[in-house]
Structure 1
């Protein structure tokens, strides 16, 4: 039995910097937290430690973050730490809750309806002004209006503050300003407010009604704000009004992950926090627990490669945190140049299939791209390879028909008070909807439906383990309540499929293997990033993509858009100094890939069978073309594969972490007699030689 106090258990397992965050409970605190450094762990443990020590009243602390998913994850962690009563909300959710409560007293009457999407109202406003628009233009105009409102601009002040904003929707500034006003008029006519209005109206009430402001400030005494680099001027204004001049505030962020400036987000609030609060404690979290040294080294190099962009750009660029990897070494990142987009998608799908065959779960693999329009090629390639996928940003999980039907049937079962164990009960109920333990062999809609149901089964199994206590076994009633809460917060369970996502939507997520695709000039950085400031943001966006990977990282690009097309594309400038010399054109600064030894010779590797130049890393590793006959005993290779599987299972890591297939083939073909011969083979570094060398030699010798 654990005899430690609750406070001791909360602090156990935190590193020195995380513990400093968790035990600094009073006054302003600024936490600069790099990717993968455990920031959510640090701040949730801080909240829990403050509650358990009596410093915080759990009813009077508000934790704020930027997405419903992040807020739901924070609530889950706080519940697991025994402080589930603490509120964790998005800025909009917190403001809407306050607005709903205070509207009858401060304004009177019924709160206007909340507008879910702007498109229809913007289209109506454009028709009133007889302005030509299409779907793409309406989307751009909606984004522009959102930016204006979170920047606290009106249709009148927009004209003077948006001179460098281009022409959203193809309209000049005067036309956009008129459309902005017409949009507000249509909303007023229909008694509607949008999400930005929720913040604006709440800010207005707090400014104008001292009684409301005093009530809110009495309710909330301490505040925690996550992802503080993404705060907009409007959100900062609301936070200031909540505080009312007090300084019981903890902010957490990383300026190097500022990727939403087009929505009004600015890192200035984070960077200037110590100036605004001179007594603030500043703690830096730089120990990266997520990624291997190879991934971390590449991420650091990307940011450090940035050069001056002039006074304005340099003022917005902060010195990046230098992450220090805490995980063991992993595989070197791969760089792949393809002839066209179709070939690139096929190559990526083939590599993903190999990862899955070697033991990596599909849900632990992601393909990340700059624009949503790039997803189609990868959807087709994965379908052709028989690999399931989920498109992040597509239909929401809880909106899927099979999920809605499943929840209805589970709710019916909860009223029937079934005695069957939850895991089996859920399988039986979902079996009526098409669930089976084995995944279907086909792809498409059948596979997608199965993956949705399988995610619910897996969630039920996980919750029985994590939420059951000696006094109470997690039941179907509890599961239905959990699903209802998750549906409200759009906190979907993990679906067993490869994730396809834009780099922006991947923020806050992580996978074992990440494929960064389409990394050519014009896509990364995107073609309309035409100023030093916007190029810097594209660099940060790629940094976010790199730091999503725990172990395996693949960069790819194509030289032409279509098969047979003109090969006029070149790799992204951000890959200069990252990719190996000679990959994708001329040498790039003459540096080896981070984590990879420099080549001993500049001469190209050639196939020992046919003499042709070897073009891929796997071919160079085994010393021959993939199409040339193998020169090894297949029994030896199979013995090595079985041994690798046992090692990977025992260590709970993907098989390729032990040795890749290409390395096993090289070992089988070379048949090394001692450690020196084994060490000479590509893919066998000092650490792997020490850990696996004797076992490998024994397998080879026994054959």
Structure 2
């Protein structure tokens, strides 16, 4: 096989035309059509354009036979885009597929030889099999915990962990497991046994069995490796150990591979993705050609400068060199940093800004609001509805369509039919949700279970907000308000502002982006605080969000969750050194309340109660006012209750808090 330089005169100059229009670094990457190649492609630097032109250049120079090229990526949409661009470049026959689609195609063909029969059925409903395995382990589960168990099994399989070594591997990875690790391992083993009995495979098995076929069947390996001689892997920073094993089996020791990735956009480690495959590529292939794409054609220089400063604060990781983006667009507006008194005020300001942009001629589809967790969408759904701006929720169900919210609203409706006292709305909502197993201030482990908890917590937060505006609101009025919100947000929205989590936003871009809710405990998320590597992944997640903006970028946070709450929430640590002080970072001065002054024994009781509250709040990782307000502590100190019945008659003490704190409060009162 000749070199590209020796073949540049073929195909009536078509090869040189392929390189026309690429910048210097893109041309260098596209012309490197042989041997191991690593393309480090920063956000907005044209990686898809580069790799499709590289494949087309290899075909037009005669180095590649199109049918012998396999390009793999992570989504069907990305694979389809690769095929479309290659077709536009006059290159047909290249296989551009996801890992799973490529494995499925090969295994379906080789199944009779490898498995002794036709392709097994695929598990269509993993939760059903997980539920059966959990039941056999006498484990009580709900849908959220089943989803978390399924996620743990997927993580184990993608990291090549068996049921036997899962507990040790989970501990080493500091996994936040939905049940104890031994229980998860037992469910995992039961799940695998059930699949074997049914003669079925899941999506992880597709990759595992295909890799096994290539590793253990020489005839299969010879045929596949004869078919595919050149490999391209997109988003290589997201490859997990199982995918790497399949890739190694495809290669069979050869080095005709090109990987493309960005270490700064590694945000899926929790699913098993291992960026060390990308970072260590040059160590694995010492003769690899490494090309850096740093010219950012997406964002204004102002957005690019902020992104560079943000990621520049991260510790240097071992392996390949880092990337520093170079903005190529004409200058634009500086990113805005805005502080708000509370979350509803933040949402209202963002919605008003979206309304102004739409009124100014910017299509709603060119605007995005990005948040860390899906439960944050509710207040933005409501705020955009209030100002008449349509929205599209990406990567999740609308708030009122989530199963846990629908079920909770049904229970609230039933409770309202039985009557309730005006002014007791928040305790009533808490009591109803407690009947579903929801425990305030105690988010459960596991992603799906926590999402469910946060959705229900958002209903309580909404009740608190509404009571602050309408103190006499009862449960029936609250349920009616929920119905109005649900109906308003069910309006058809073909074109709308995109509401998305930061994870769901990866690979997308908009003219105007609002990154919201940037407080410590949300970003970085609370459960990452004990692990420096997890905190740094949260920083990269914010980097991904920032680099979605083409022209306008606003980053915001709020000092309190609810109106009237104490404004004590710290903004995200990632904004330190980025957000300017003074006028560019407007602060709303909290309303100072007069200190509580009590004399004698009542004063001593008040101080004991304050000390107890501080310790209780610290244990639960919540602000002190969430436990009890100063006004409630003052009432307790002054009245000196000695029984739970006496305590229950004081303002600010509902049945839920009475159950949680009653005995401890009485002990503090008694000294």
Structure 2-normalised TM-score? Answer: 0.70
SS of 1:562's equivalent in the other structure is: coil
Counterpart in the other structure of 1:55: 63
SS of 1:162's equivalent in the other structure is: helix
SS of 1:30's equivalent in the other structure is: strand
Counterpart in the other structure of 1:360: 362
Q: What's the CA shift for 1:7?
A: 2.2
Root mean square deviation of aligned Cα? 2.3
Counterpart in the other structure of 2:559: 559
1:107-135 per-position Cα deviation (integer Å, ceiling 9, x unaligned): 12232221244222212211111112222
Counterpart in the other structure of 2:236: 228
1:255 to 250, 253, 263: 263
Counterpart in the other structure of 1:507: 506
Q: What's the CA shift for 1:11?
A: 1.2
SS of 2:571's equivalent in the other structure is: coil
Q: How many residue pairs get matched?
A: 490
CA contact (8 A) 2:282 2:320 kept: no
Q: What's the CA shift for 1:443?
A: 6.5
1:287-312 per-position Cα deviation (integer Å, ceiling 9, x unaligned): 11110011000000001123x5xxxx
Counterpart in the other structure of 1:350: 352
Structure 1-normalised TM-score? Answer: 0.67
Q: Equivalent residues in 2 for 1:444-593 (5 A)? A: 444-448=489-493, 451=494, 496-529=495-528, 530-582=530-582
CA 1:384–1:251 in 2, change beyond 3 Å: closer, same or farther?
Answer: same
Counterpart in the other structure of 1:270: 278
1:507-554 per-position Cα deviation (integer Å, ceiling 9, x unaligned): 111111111111101110000102100001000010011011111001
SS of 1:109's equivalent in the other structure is: coil
Q: What's the CA shift for 1:92?
A: 1.0
Cα distance in 2 for partners of 1:288, 1:4 equals 32
Counterpart in the other structure of 2:375: 373
Cα distance in 1 for partners of 2:177, 2:273 equals 21
Counterpart in the other structure of 1:104: 112
Cα distance in 2 for partners of 1:542, 1:167 equals 22
Q: What's the CA shift for 1:168?
A: 4.7
Cα distance in 1 for partners of 2:115, 2:195 equals 18
Cα distance in 2 for partners of 1:92, 1:33 equals 24
Cα distance in 1 for partners of 2:183, 2:318 equals 30
1:468-514 per-position Cα deviation (integer Å, ceiling 9, x unaligned): xxxxxxxxxxxxxxxxxxxxxxxxxxxx2211111111111111111
Q: What's the CA shift for 1:167?
A: 6.5
Cα distance in 1 for partners of 2:377, 2:288 equals 44
1:288 to 280, 287, 296: 296
Cα distance in 2 for partners of 1:167, 1:292 equals 38
SS of 1:56's equivalent in the other structure is: coil
CA contact (8 A) 1:136 1:169 kept: no
2:218 to 210, 213, 217: 210
SS of 2:207's equivalent in the other structure is: helix
CA contact (8 A) 2:301 2:329 kept: yes
Is 1:340 aligned to 2:342, yes or no? Answer: yes
Q: What's the CA shift for 1:316?
A: 6.0
2:391 to 386, 389, 392: 389
Counterpart in the other structure of 1:301: 309
2:95 to 71, 87, 94: 87
SS of 1:133's equivalent in the other structure is: coil
SS of 1:148's equivalent in the other structure is: helix
Is 1:331 aligned to 2:327, yes or no? Answer: no
Cα distance in 1 for partners of 2:21, 2:488 equals 43
Cα distance in 1 for partners of 2:522, 2:100 equals 32
1:545-584 per-position Cα deviation (integer Å, ceiling 9, x unaligned): 101111100101111222222322111000111111147x
Is 1:78 aligned to 2:78, yes or no? Answer: no
SS of 1:528's equivalent in the other structure is: helix
Is 1:175 aligned to 2:220, yes or no? Answer: no
Cα distance in 2 for partners of 1:581, 1:355 equals 26
CA contact (8 A) 2:148 2:178 kept: no
Q: What's the CA shift for 1:388?
A: 1.5
1:187-225 per-position Cα deviation (integer Å, ceiling 9, x unaligned): 223332211111111111111111001111000010001
Cα distance in 2 for partners of 1:340, 1:581 equals 19
Please identify, of 540-549 and 556-565, the stretch whose mean Cα deviation from structure 2 is larger: 556-565
CA contact (8 A) 1:167 1:173 kept: no
Q: What's the CA shift for 1:243?
A: 0.7
Cα distance in 1 for partners of 2:537, 2:389 equals 33
CA contact (8 A) 2:351 2:383 kept: yes
Cα distance in 1 for partners of 2:568, 2:195 equals 48
Q: What's the CA shift for 1:382?
A: 1.4
CA 1:285–1:166 in 2, change beyond 3 Å: closer, same or farther?
Answer: closer
Cα distance in 1 for partners of 2:212, 2:532 equals 36
Counterpart in the other structure of 1:192: 200
Q: Equivalent residues in 2 for 1:428-439 (5 A)? A: none
Q: What's the CA shift for 1:18?
A: 0.2
Gaps of 5+ in 2: 1-10, 399-486, 590-671
Cα distance in 2 for partners of 1:446, 1:542 equals 31
Is 1:26 aligned to 2:34, yes or no? Answer: yes
Q: What's the CA shift for 1:231?
A: 0.8
Cα distance in 2 for partners of 1:132, 1:164 equals 26
Counterpart in the other structure of 2:145: 137
CA 1:542–1:167 in 2, change beyond 3 Å: closer, same or farther?
Answer: closer
Cα distance in 2 for partners of 1:124, 1:551 equals 51
Counterpart in the other structure of 1:322: 324
SS of 1:126's equivalent in the other structure is: helix
CA contact (8 A) 1:387 1:443 kept: no
CA 1:336–1:582 in 2, change beyond 3 Å: closer, same or farther?
Answer: same
CA contact (8 A) 1:559 1:568 kept: yes
Q: What's the CA shift for 1:230?
A: 0.8
Counterpart in the other structure of 2:635: none
Q: What's the CA shift for 1:169?
A: 5.0
CA 1:395–1:47 in 2, change beyond 3 Å: closer, same or farther?
Answer: farther
Cα distance in 2 for partners of 1:241, 1:517 equals 44
